[in-house]
Amino acid sequence: MNTPLLTTPPLSLYIHIPWCVEKCPYCDFNSHALKSQVPEEDYVKALIADLDADIAHFDLSLRPLHSIFIGGGTPSLFSAKAIESLLKQVLSRFKQNFSPKNNIEITLEANPGTVEADKFIGFAKAGVTRLSIGVQSFESEKLLKLGRIHNVSQAKFAAQLAHESGVKSFNLDLMHGLPNQTLDNALDDLKTAIDLKPDHLSWYQLTIEPNTAFHSKPPKLPQDEVLWDIQDQGFKLLKDAGYQQYEISAFRLVKDNSADDKQCQHNLNYWRFGDYLGIGCGAHGKITDSKKGIIQRTVKIKHPKGYLDSNRTPLDHLNTVTNDELPFEYMMNQLRLFSSFTLAEYQQRTGLVASTVLPTLLQAQNKKLIACTDNHAIEGQWQVTPLGHRYLNDLLELFL
């Protein structure tokens, strides 16, 4: 690897909570239906041991933490007390001055079926600054089909509680392209979401993943033309309502005269090929060592039983990303964004020289999938075109 180019990027922390009340038929995340009480005390202990091992292994205590994301699974199954204990211990590991004023973004994912009035307030007091609420749809029939444990009023109530909880911002997760969904159904879902005034919306097209109940017994999904219409008109609706798309599925509310950046800072760090520690069952991490000139990936033990076994180390495997893999890995993340990037950034994040991607970028430019703002490709800003975002997979394949 060409070490002098590689720089140390911001460091985020992902914490995985692997339990849900029930398993949704479309979901391939590492999540398990709870059979008894959630073992929160033991799990927090295991998470901290996992974090300590990573910090020691990668010598990280002096690197500042950029953001934390507690995802799942259903982290809102945990009590506010457990989240407070977890965050206190996590933050104490980093030699950074954390205070309410200079607080970093700390997101927690919540399922509307697992929140009561006080819970969000408790999470906010524990240090959570951002809630991400998994709503999926505001139509009863769709929620049933998706195996969701909540109804429409619980979803709306969760958004209201988020407003009142004291967190800085909140996101709603919605999906489209749902079984038997019409264009009007999808737009109605978006309109209801917009009326709840979330700071951020994640709007995902439903995909049928292997090893899910929907894969074994596929539901009837909308035709391709309907899917295109949903996307086109959905994007327009969101834009007119003040939601700016900054990534394939992510929209932030842009308020007049507000300096607040409602983008998800944690996800932005992934997409810009930043670093992250991943702790918890099956969590993935990526760590750059600019001195050694290497980028390493970690994966933790996947199953809660093995992960909670104190006789085992949480690390399942560790590997170094090869120079052959890096161009695609970088582009797979960066090209999801609507903002531009430079080849200097590419070099700093991968340690590779610009010529490792320049011919492919020029090829993509010829196909009008990407554009450069400058005649000088090395110094210019590269940005995916609307055509490139529409055919993102074709664009990415060029880098394989």
Interface positions with ligand SF4 (CB under 6 A): 20, 23-24, 27, 29, 31, 72-74, 111, 134
Nearer to ligand SF4, 213 or 237 (CB): 213
Binding mask 250-269 for ligand SAM (x = CB under 6 A): --------------------
CA distances from residue 214 to 7, 160, 282, 328 in whole angstroms, order as listed: 43, 31, 22, 30
Residue 74 three-state SS: coil
Q: Is 234 in the site for ligand SAM (CB under 6 A)?
A: no
Distances (CA, A) of 94 to 13, 97, 265, 268, 330: 11, 9, 19, 21, 27
* Local structure of residue 341 (DSSP, 8 states): B
Q: Identify which of residues 109 and 199 has a Cβ nearer to ligand SAM in the complex.
A: 109
Using CA atoms, how far apart are residues 51 and 80, in angstroms rounded to an integer? 20
Q: Does 207 interact with ligand SAM (rule: CB under 6 A)? A: yes
Q: Does 280 bind ligand SAM (CB under 6 A)?
A: no
Q: Tell me the Ramachandran region of residue 292: left when phi exceeds 0, alpha when psi lies from -120 to 50, beta otherwise.
A: alpha
CB of 74 to ligand SF4, least distance (A): 5
Question: Distance between CA 359 and CA 154 in Å, rounded?
Answer: 52
Q: With respect to ligand SF4, which residue has the nearer C-beta, 205 or 385?
A: 205
Q: Which does 351 bind (CB under 5 to 8 A by kind): ligand SAM, ligand SF4, none?
A: none
Which residues 21-50 are close enough to bind ligand SAM by CB under 6 A?
26-27, 29
Shortest Å distance, C-beta 98 to ligand SF4: 28
Cβ nearer to ligand SAM, comparing 250 with 295: 250
Residues 6+ apart with CB under 8 A from 133: 109, 110, 111, 112, 155, 158, 159, 162, 170, 171, 172, 173, 198
Q: How far is the CB of 327 from ligand SF4 (least distance, A)?
A: 31
CB of 230: closest distance to ligand SF4 in angstroms? 20
Greatest alpha-carbon span in the chain: 62
What is the C-alpha separation between 275 and 197, in angstroms, rounded?
Answer: 31
Under a CB-based contact definition with an 8 Å cutoff, are residues 382 and 343 in contact? yes
Quote the CA–CA distance of 34 and 252 in Å, as a whole number.
33
User: Which amino acid is located at 241 in the chain?
Assistant: A
Q: Taking CB within 5 to 8 Å according to partner kind, which of ligand SF4, ligand SAM, none is near residue 75? A: none
Residue at token pair 């219409």? 229
The option from ligand SAM, ligand SF4, none interacting with 235 (CB < 5 to 8 A, set by class) reads none
Site for ligand SAM in 164-183 (CB under 6 A): 173, 175
Closest approach of Cβ 208 to ligand SF4, in Å? 14
Q: Is residue 206 a contact residue for ligand SAM (CB under 6 A)?
A: yes
* CB closer to ligand SF4, 20 vs 343: 20
Among the listed ranges 67-75, 152-160, 314-322, 381-389, the one in contact with ligand SAM (CB under 6 A) is 67-75
Taking the CB of residue 116, how many other CB atoms lie within 10 A of it? Answer: 9
The binder of 328, among ligand SAM, ligand SF4, none, by C-beta within 5 to 8 A per type, is none
Question: If contact means CB under 5 to 8 A according to the sort of partner, which of ligand SF4, ligand SAM, none does residue 23 touch?
Answer: ligand SF4
Measured CA distances, 232 to 186, 228, 315, 335 (Å): 11, 6, 43, 20
Smallest distance, ligand SAM to C-beta of residue 71, A? 6
Q: Determine the interface stretch with ligand SAM among 66-74, 81-89, 162-170, 268-276 (rule: CB under 6 A).
A: 66-74
Which CA distances in Å does 343 have to 7, 289, 334, 361, 382? 14, 20, 12, 10, 8
Binding residues vs ligand SAM (CB under 6 A) = 26-27, 29, 71-72, 74, 109, 111, 134, 136, 173, 175, 204, 206-207, 209
